[in-house]
Amino acid sequence: MVESIQIQVNGESRSWRAGATVGELLRELDITSERVAVELNLEILDRKEFDRRGIKDGDRLEILSFIGGGSLNRKVTPAMGDVIRSGR
Amino acid sequence: MNTNDRLTIAGREFKSRLWVGTGKYKNFIETQKAIEASGADVVTVAVRRVNITDRSKENLLDYLDPKKYIILPNTAGCYTVEDAVRYARLARAAGVSDLVKLEVLGDEKTLFPDTAGLIEAAKILIKEGFIVLPYTNDDPIVAKKLVDIGCPAVMPLAAPIGSGLGIRNPYNLKIIMEQVKVPIIVDAGVGTASDAALAMEYGADAVLMNTAIAGAQDPIAMAEAMKYAVHAGRLAYKAGRIPRKLYATASSPIEGML
C-alpha cells in the first residue's frame, strides 16, 4: 500500500501518493504541461523541473494558465476559469 | 497598408495597429472569429487557475494559433505591486516570451491604474528582463517616468476600462504623444469605431480594446469596423489633416463664372 500525503492544489485539499513529482501530478490531472505555470509553495517552477520536483505532505500548488482577458476579468465565466482573489 | 508602416516595440515588429483582448465573448468560436475579423496580431490574455476538477473544458489557446498571434499576458485584476509582479512571473512561466501588459489597479469602481504602484512594479519586472507594456493613466508625467525606467511603449487609457466613453482627455493624450518618444498604445475606453479612428488620427501608434468588440451586439462585425477605423485613422494621421478654420474657403474657382 502506497503512503498518501495531503496537498493543496488550486486551493483544494487532495490526497496524493507520497513520492510523486509535479510532472506526474500534472499528467494524472490531464494537464498539458507546456501551457501552464506551476507555483509550489509560492516558488514558480521552471518547466524543466516538473519531473524532478517531488511533492511533500502539506505542499501548496497553484497551476495556472492563460484564459480570455482584456483589461479585466472581474466576472470570469466558470467555463473559462476561476477568479483568484488577490492576497492569501 | 504600406508594409513599411510597421509598429516596432523593443525590436519586435507588429503587423497590426489594432490589438484586442480575448475576454467577455460568448464562447471560443466567437472569440476566434472576432479576432480574425479584427486583423489583430496581438491578443491579450489573463492568467488564472486551471480548472482541475473538470478537464473537459476547452482552453482558449486551442483556438488561437500561436504562429498567427502574439500572446500578450496581462496582470488584470491585480491591485498590489506584489500581485502584479507575481502574475507577470507566472505569465512568463506559462508562456514563451518576456512580454507583459502590466496593470496595477487602484480601485474596483474606476479600475484606474495605481500609477505609483505601476512604476514600482515596472521597475522590478524590467530588472528581471521583462518587456513591460504599462497600462497607465492619461498623465503625461507618469508616461515619461515609465519610459525613463525602461518601458519600450506606454498604454494610456482613453476612458475607464469597459466604459465605452471614448477619448475623455484628447489634449493629455496629444501631450503624451508629443512628449514621449516611444510607441503609444491607447488602451481601454473605446466605445465605437470613430473613437479608435480618432485615437489614431491624434497620432497613437496602436489601439487596444476588448469590450468595444466583445460587448457589441455583433462582435464580429464590430471587429471588422475597428480594423477599418484603425487603418483609416492611421492613414489620415500620416496624410496630415487640414487646419480648422472658422469661415468657408471655396473649393471651386471664381474665374470663369458668368
Mean pLDDT rounded to a whole number for chain B: 93
Question: Which residues have a Cβ under 8 Å from the Cβ of B25 and sit 6 or more positions away?
Answer: A68, B31, B34, B214, B219
Contact between chains at A65 and B105 (C-beta distance less than 8 A): no
Distance CA B110, CA B137 (A): 11
Distance CA B8, CA A7 (A): 46
Give B-chain residues touching A68 at CB under 8 angstroms.
Answer: 21-25, 28, 31, 45-46, 60
Q: Using CB atoms, which residue from B21, B74, B94 is nearest to A37?
A: B94
Distance CA A66, CA B37 (A): 22
pLDDT in tens, A37-47: 999 999 999 99
Q: How many CB pairs under 8 A join A and B?
A: 152
Three-state secondary structure string covering chain A: CCCEEEEEECCEEEEEECCCEHHHHHHHCCCCHHHCEEEECCEECCHHHCCCCECCCCCEEEEEEEEECCCCCCCCCHHHCECCCCCC
Distance from CA of B181 to the nearest CA of A (A): 24
Per-residue pLDDT averaged across B183-211, rounded? 96
Per-residue pLDDT averaged across A40-62, rounded? 93
Whether pLDDT at A82 is above 90: no
Contact between chains at B74 and A83 (C-beta distance less than 8 A): no
Whether pLDDT at B152 is above 80: yes
Whether pLDDT at A52 is above 90: yes
pLDDT in tens, B96-148: 789 999 999 999 999 999 999 999 999 999 999 999 999 999 999 999 999 99
Catalytic residue among B67, B68, B101, B123: B101
Grid coordinates of B50: 486551471
Q: Is B30 on the interface with A (CB under 8 A)?
A: no
Whether pLDDT at B36 is above 90: yes
Mean pLDDT rounded to a whole number for chain A: 79
Q: What is the pLDDT of residue B182?
A: 96
Whether pLDDT at B213 is above 90: yes
CA distances from B198 to A84, B27, B166, B202 (A): 36, 30, 9, 6
Grid coordinates of B93: 512561466
Contact between chains at B22 and A30 (C-beta distance less than 8 A): no
Contact between chains at B162 and A87 (C-beta distance less than 8 A): no
Q: What is the pLDDT of residue A1?
A: 60
CA distances from B144 to A23, A60, B127, B186, B229 (A): 44, 41, 18, 15, 28
Whether pLDDT at B171 is above 80: yes
Distance CA B104, CA B136 (A): 9
ipTM > 0.85 for the complex:
no
Whether pLDDT at A85 is above 70: no
Q: What is the pLDDT of residue B243?
A: 94
pLDDT above 90 coverage of chain A, percent: 57
Q: Is B101 a catalytic residue?
A: yes
